[in-house]
Structure 1
Amino acid sequence: MKESRASGRGAELLSIALFFALPLTISTALWTDTVQEVLPNRFQGYLSASSNPEPASIETAPDTAFSSCESHKYTTEIVSLDPLVIYINNFTTHQEADELIAAGESDFQPSYISTNTGLQRVQGRTSSSAPLSPSLPLVQCILTRARTFMGSTLSPTERFSTPQLVRYERGQKYDLHTDHWPSHQVDDQGRLFNRVASFFVFLRGECEEGETYFPEVEPWSTSNSESDPDARLEKTFKGKVLRGEYKGEKKGVKFKPITGNAVFWVNIDAKGEGDGRLIHAGLPVGGGEKVGMNIWPRKFYGWEDGSEPRVKKEEVRWV
């Protein structure tokens, strides 16, 4: 009996000691739910609520962002098979479009054209342009999306040119031109390359007019027996693709700027020659602002000295 009373009194003294020592201990320790859970129930009423009552939010890691990028959904509509022109709905989200513009905002300069002798200013191109660094995670995401779209037509060693933002304000334009060079260019390793295809992505379409116009692309046969094939064109594409006009004659197609949508076309044929039918123009903006992004996949066509390909392992890059 004496042992029982002594044992009970010892437990009581221990409880009192813990009661007075606990505040000092907790004030100097990192509080966690685990600590609170293991304490006797008799002390729970004296403790403050957990500093972390709900699971903490986890910042999205780059890998998660890329996973989201790959899961992005878009749809396609063939405008022309020969030459190949494809309309892409929702190639970017509106948020991606805004962030891409913000990434290049401070770098906009008057637009130039690229020639064999370098960059030149011309009266036929009055927009402003800004490069986008391929090292930016969002830019990598979009380039990965474009590469996936290209499928097996690009090898891992064939990179994209630096993506380019272009801005058109009231009255600004880009007269008829092609994206490919008349003759293949030479990179720093002596390889011949050209812009095998193009993506033009509408990042901001808050404007009047300003369509992208292809005068030589005819989606419907001239022998079409329909009374109004132009109306069928507009109905099929719900106003996104319209009949164009060149020198007073209905000719070709033009694409209305719609944020997030894109146009894809192939510049170089299977023989490595440029397709002149893909000549196009950025029509003058009547009001507001149009911002687009050029994505140019590069393809290699041998070596400047005519030797056989000699690709090294370390040259492999996906974007």
Structure 2
Amino acid sequence: MRPSSAEELQVASYAFGGHYEVHMDALRLTSETMDRGDRIATFMFYLTDVEKGGSTAFPMAGVAARPVKGSAVFWNNLFSSGNPDERTWHGACPVIMGEKWVANKWIRYFDQMQTHQCKSQQPSQMDFKVNGKKLKFKQPVVPTRR
């Protein structure tokens, strides 16, 4: 992967009570973000175990990833059409005991144009791998922008 294909690695830490509100990683494109395109995918690496709390919750998908040192979560932020996948809204639950460290890597669109071609229809299901288990969700989601 070329350096321009992804953003710099972002490291974040959460102490007691630390959390992050529910959001999407897809960007609203501006003149500053147009040069690399939107964030098509996210890798989140867990750098520490958390004694209690600190899960990454995906409320529209009904799943949460427990932070386990050395594990990672990957998801696509956009459909192949380039539209945001609303099922990827996620947030960091509060840390109740311990400390949480994560590293995020966002993959950008424009260097992927030959491999991330547009499809005429959006998929009606989404696969998640959470704590080693593959989960499938077949519920159609009506996109709404928040």
Given the two structures, how large is their TM-score scaled by the length of structure 2? 0.69
Q: How do 1:59-98 residues align onto structure 2 when only pairs under 5 Å count?
A: none
How many equivalent pairs are there?
111
Instruction: Give a deviation string over 1:235-257, Cα, whole Å, max 9, x none.
Output: xxxxxxxxxxxxxxxxx011111
Letter in 1 for 2:82: G
1:257 to 44, 67, 85: 67
Residue in structure 1 matching 2:29, options 184, 191, 195: 184
Higher RCO (Cα < 8 Å, 6 or more apart): 2
Give 1:175's aligned amino acid.
E
- The 3 A distance-change label for structure 1 pair 157 and 203 is closer
Percent identity over the alignment? 32
Partner of 1:275: 85
Q: Which runs of 5+ in 2 are unaligned?
A: 112-146
Computing the radius of gyration from Cα coordinates, the structure with the larger value is 1
1:201 aligns with 2:45: yes
TM-score (norm 1): 0.33
Q: Offset of 1:209 from its aligned partner?
A: 1.0
**Which residue number corresponds to residue 300 of structure 1?**
110
Q: Is 1:290 aligned to 2:100, yes or no?
A: yes
Aligned to 1:163: 9
Q: Please report the RMSD computed on the Cα atoms of aligned residues, expressed in angstroms.
A: 2.0
Aligned partner of residue 87 in structure 2, secondary structure: helix
Higher strand proportion: 2
In 1, the alpha carbon distance for the partners of 2:77 and 2:42 equals 7
**Pairing of 1:48-127 with structure 2 (within 5 A):** none
Q: Choose which of 57, 60, 70 in structure 2 pairs with 1:216.
A: 60
Quote the offset at 1:157 in angstroms: 7.7
| Amino acid corresponding to residue 6 of structure 2 in structure 1 | F
What is the deviation of 1:206? 3.3
Q: Is the 8 A contact 2:5 2:36 kept in 1?
A: no
Q: Gaps (5+ residues) in structure 1?
A: 1-146, 148-155, 218-251, 302-319
Q: CA deviation at 1:268?
A: 1.1
More helix by share: 1
Partner of 2:81: helix, strand, or coil?
A: coil
